[in-house]
Structure 1
Amino acid sequence: MWNEKKPSPPADSGHRVALIIFVLGLGTLLPWNFFMTASQYFNGRLTVHNGTLNGTSGITTKNYNYDSWMALLSQLPLLLFTLLNSFIYQWVKERIRVAFSLIVIFLLFSLTAALVQVSMQPDTFFSITMATIWFINTFGAVLQGGLFGMVSLFPPRYNTLFMSGQGLAGMFAAIAMLCSILSNAEKSSAALGYFITPCVATLVTLLCYLLLPHLEFARFYMNKSQGDTVQTSEELLSSTDKKILNGKDLETSGKMDESQERSSVLAVFKKIWLMALCVTCVFAVTLSVFPVITVRVQTVYKENTSWDKVFTCVCCFVVFNTMDVAGRSAPSLVQWPSKQSLLFPVAVLSRLVFIPLLMMCNVANSKLTVLFSHDFAFVTIMALFSFTNGYLASLCMAYAPQLVRCRDCETAGSLMTFFLVLGLAIGAAFSFLLGKLV
C-alpha cells in the first residue's frame, strides 16, 4: 500500500487554468498601467487656466512632475509592502490577501472615475491623485506577492503565462486610452469611460481568482506541497516498516522529514540572488526612462494634427506594451541564455545602452544633441527596449523557482516580486535626475 506511485497531474481541461492565470497576470498591473497611460489626462487637469480662476485670460503652467511622482509613489508602496509580504504570507492566508486587495483596488478605481466629473483646484487634484496612487499600489503589492507565490506552485509554463498577462495589462490600458482619444465624446466623458474600464476588469479578475480553486488541475498544484509532505513521510516509514519501533530509526525519520520543511527566506535568497539582481536591473533601466523621457518625444510631422494627437499613445505606449507582451511570451518558445550561462547577466547589463539612446531622440526642448529625430528611429529603439524588458524579466521570473525545492517556490516567487519592485523603485528615483538632464 505504501509503494503506490505518485498521482499524475490531471489535464488542464480547455486550458481554463491557463486562461485564468493569464487574466490574473493582467489584473495585477492594471492600476499601474492605467495611471501611467493617462499621463496626458492628468497633466491636462494640472494645468491652471487663469480665465476660470480669476477672470483673466491665459494659462499658467505649474510643473508638478506628474510622471516622475506617479512612478515614485507607485513603486515605494510596492517596494515596502512587497517586502512585508515576503514575511507575512505564512501568517495571512493567500486567499484573504488577494481577494481583499482586489476589492480595495476596485473601490479606488471607482473613486478615480468619479473624480473625472468633479471640478477642483490643481493642487487639490494632485494631492488626491497621489494619495490614490499610493494606496492603490499598496494593495497592488500585496496582490502581486500573493499571486506570484501561488503561480510559482504551477509548472514554469504558467509562470510565463502570468508574466504575459501582466504585459497585456499595459496594452489593454494603451488601447483603452487610444479609443478615448479617437472618440468624438467630450473629454470628461471619454476619461470617465477610460477609468470605468479597469473597474470592470478588476471585478473580472476577482471572479477568476475565486473560480480557480474549484478546478481540479489548479487544486492539484495548489495542494501539492502538503501532499508531497504527507507522501514523503509515508514513503520514509514504509521503508522501515519492520523497525518502526526502534527509537534510533524514528529519530532518523524525524530528521529526514524535518529536512522537507520550508527553507528560511535567507536560504532561498542565496540560491536565487543572481536572478533577483538581474530582474532588479531590468526594471531599473526600464523605469528610469519610461515613461518620464519617452512621453516627451515628439513627432517630426507636427503639421499632421491627427498623427500628432495620437503619436505619444501609439509610439510610446502601444509600441512598448505590444513588444513587451511579445517579449514576455517568447520564453515559451525559446529560453536563451540558460540560467547557468554567464551571458544572461551580460544581456541584462547591455540594456543600459537604451538610456542614452532614448534620451537622444526627438525630446521636446531637449538640452542634449538629438541624434534620432525621425519617428521611425524612435519606434525602432522603443521596440527593442520593450521586447528585451519583457523577455529578460520573464526569464528571470521563470528561472528563479527552478533553482529551489518545490516547497520553497512560493518564497522564491515572493522574493523575486520584491526585487522586481525594487528595480522599479530605483528606476523611478533615477527618472527625476534623467528628466532634469534632458
Structure 2
Amino acid sequence: MKTHCYTLSGFHTQSWWIKMQCQLDNRGLVAIIFFILGMGTLLPWNFFITAFDYFNERLHTPTSSNASESDQTSPYMFDNMCVLLSQLPLLLFTLLNSFLYQHIPERMRIAGSMVFILLLFILTATLVKVKMEQDLFFSITMAIIWFINMFGAVLQGSLFGLVGKFPPKYSSWFMSGQAMAGIFSAVAMLVSKISKTDNESAALGYFITPCAATLLTLCCYSVLPHLKFAGLYLEAGARDKETKPELNENLTLVKVKPVDSDCTGKIMVTDSNGEAFKSLDGAEKQGEKAPVLAVFKKIWLMALCVTCVFTVTLSAFPAITVLVKPNGLFTGTMADIFTPLSCFLVFSVMDWVGRSATYIFQWPKKDSCLFPILVAARMIFIPALMFCNIPSRSYPLSLFKHEFSYITIMSLFGMTNGYFACLSMSYAPQFVRSKDAETAGALMTFFLALGLSLGGAFSFVLKKLI
C-alpha cells in the first residue's frame, strides 16, 4: 500500500517545520501585540478630544450655557467643526482604503500612517506653548484634525484587514485594545477634574501621551512579522480557507517515514485528528482576490450589524448622555466628576468588558438569525437614556431619575456596544476565503465609520427632541 505524502511544496519546508513547532511559544505575545495595536488606533484621537476644554479656552469659545452674550457671538464653532472635519475624512478614507489597499503595500499604509500621526501629535503638543493669533491657531488645528483622522482611517482599515488573516479571537484582542484606549482617556479626564489641573497643562499631557503610545504601537507592528506564530498566518494569507492553518490551531507537523522512492522524509501537515490536509500546491494556483463587491455580498449582514451598533451608540453617546445630571446622591466635588465617572468611564470600562467577553464565548453564532435581531434591539437604549434625569429638557418626564438607574443603563449600553461590535468585526472575515479576509476587514471598517457618521448626525435630531 502506497503512502501519500503532503508536502509544503513551494515553501521553505524547514522554516515551516520550525514555525509550527514554535507556534505555542509566542501566540500569547501575538495577542498582546494586537491588543496594543488596537489601543494605538484610537488612543491618539480619544486623547485629542479629551482636550476640548483647552481648545475652547484658547479660542474663547463658550463651554457652558452660563457664558456671557458677548462670548456667544464667537466666530469659532470648534465642537461642530471638529465633528465635521473628523467624520468626513474617516468616512472618505475608509472607503478609499477598501478599494485602493491592494495597490499600496500594507507596511507603507500601516507604518506610514503611524509615523504621520506621531508627527501631528508632536506638532499639536508644540503648539500648546506657542502663542499665535486665534485665526491661525484655528486653521492649523482644523488641518491637524483632518489629517489625524485621514491617517487614522487608513491605519484602522489596514489593521482590521491584517487581523482578519488571524483566528477570530485575535480580532477580540484587537478590539479590546481599542476599548482600553477609551478607558485611558476617561481616566485622564477624571484625574484632570479631580486635581483641578489648568487646561494648558492638562492638554500638554493629553498630547504627549499619544506620542508615546504611537511610538510603542509602531515598535509592536515592526516586531509582529518576525514572530514565528504570526509568520504562519501572514504567509498563509494568500491561500484558500480550506488550507488555512487558523481553522484549527492544533495543527502539527509530522515526519513521514520513507516508504517508496518518491517519499523520503517529507513533512506532512495534520489536524488534531491526524488527518492530513491536501497539498498546498493547488491552493497557490487558485484565482486572484475576489472583487470588492463580491466580498461585500458575502459580508453584507455583518456590515449592516456593525453600522447599526455604532449608529445607535453615537446617537446617544455622548450627545445625550452628557446632559444627564445627578439627583442628590452626587453632591459637592462628586457632582463635578459625575459626568466623567458615570458617563465616560463607565461606558469605556463596560465597552472593554463586552469586547473582551467575545474571547471567552461567542453567542449568537454568525449564521444565527438571532444575531441581527439582538443588534437591532439595542435601539431601546436611546429612549431609555433620553428619559434619564436631564434637567434641561423641554418636557418634565424623567422615568429614571436615580443615579444608579443611569449607571445601570450606561453599563448595559457600553457592554452591548463592545460585544456586538466585536462579534460583527470577528465574524465578517469568516464568510470569505482567507485571501479575501483583508478586503473584508477594510470594508467592515468603512461600515463602522458609516455607523459613527450616521450616529453623529442622528444625535443632533435627538438633542432637538429633548
The residue number in structure 1 matching 2:141 is 129
The residue number in structure 2 matching 1:155 is 167
The gaps in structure 1 that reach 5 residues or longer are 50-56, 233-240, 242-253
Q: For 1:18, which of 31, 37, 40 is the aligned residue?
A: 31
Cα deviation code 1:416-435 (max 9, x no counterpart) = 11111111111112222222
The gaps in structure 2 that reach 5 residues or longer are 9-15, 63-67, 245-261, 263-280
Tell me whether 33-42 or 14-23 shows the greater mean CA deviation. Answer: 33-42
* Cα 1:417–1:2 shift into 2, 3 Å: farther
Q: Distance in 1 between matches of 2:131 and 2:465?
A: 34
Tell me whether 420-429 or 217-226 shows the greater mean CA deviation. Answer: 217-226
Tell me whether 279-288 or 69-78 shows the greater mean CA deviation. Answer: 69-78
Cα deviation code 1:270-312 (max 9, x no counterpart) = 1111000000010011111211222222222498331122111
| Per-residue deviation, 1:175 | 1.2
Q: Does 1:4 align with 2:3?
A: no
The residue number in structure 1 matching 2:432 is 404
* Cα 1:59–1:185 shift into 2, 3 Å: same
- Size of the aligned set, in residue pairs, is 411
Q: Which amino acid aligns with 2:71?
A: T
Verify the 8 A CA contact 1:181 1:190 in the aligned structure 2: no
Q: For 2:460, which of 425, 432, 435 is the aligned residue?
A: 432
The residue number in structure 2 matching 1:372 is 400
Tell me whether 352-361 or 7-16 shows the greater mean CA deviation. Answer: 7-16
* Cα 1:121–1:308 shift into 2, 3 Å: farther
Matches within 5 A, 1:292-331: 292-301=319-328, 304-331=331-358
RMSD: 2.9
Q: Which amino acid aligns with 1:395?
A: L
Q: Distance in 2 between matches of 1:312 and 1:119?
A: 31
| Per-residue deviation, 1:124 | 5.5
Q: Which amino acid aligns with 2:201?
A: S
SS in structure 1 of the partner of residue 337 of structure 2? helix
Q: For 2:307, which of 260, 275, 280 is the aligned residue?
A: 280
Q: For 2:236, which of 224, 236, 242 is the aligned residue?
A: 224
Q: Does 1:194 align with 2:222?
A: no
Q: For 2:99, which of 87, 90, 96 is the aligned residue?
A: 87
The residue number in structure 2 matching 1:251 is none
Q: Distance in 1 between matches of 2:133 and 2:393?
A: 30
Q: Distance in 1 between matches of 2:148 and 2:58?
A: 20
SS in structure 1 of the partner of residue 71 of structure 2? strand
The residue number in structure 2 matching 1:390 is 418
Cα deviation code 1:14-73 (max 9, x no counterpart) = 721111110000001113322333344444444458xxxxxxx99623586654543343
Verify the 8 A CA contact 2:316 2:459 in the aligned structure 1: yes
* Cα 1:12–1:93 shift into 2, 3 Å: farther
* Cα 1:224–1:255 shift into 2, 3 Å: closer
Q: Distance in 1 between matches of 2:127 and 2:322?
A: 24
| Per-residue deviation, 1:211 | 1.3
Verify the 8 A CA contact 1:299 1:311 in the aligned structure 2: yes
Q: Distance in 2 between matches of 1:205 and 1:179?
A: 24
Q: For 1:36, which of 45, 49, 54 is the aligned residue?
A: 49
Q: Which amino acid aligns with 2:343?
A: C
Give the structure-1-normalised TM-score. 0.85
Q: For 1:350, which of 369, 373, 377 is the aligned residue?
A: 377
The residue number in structure 2 matching 1:244 is none
Q: Distance in 1 between matches of 2:398 and 2:80?
A: 22
| Per-residue deviation, 1:204 | 0.8
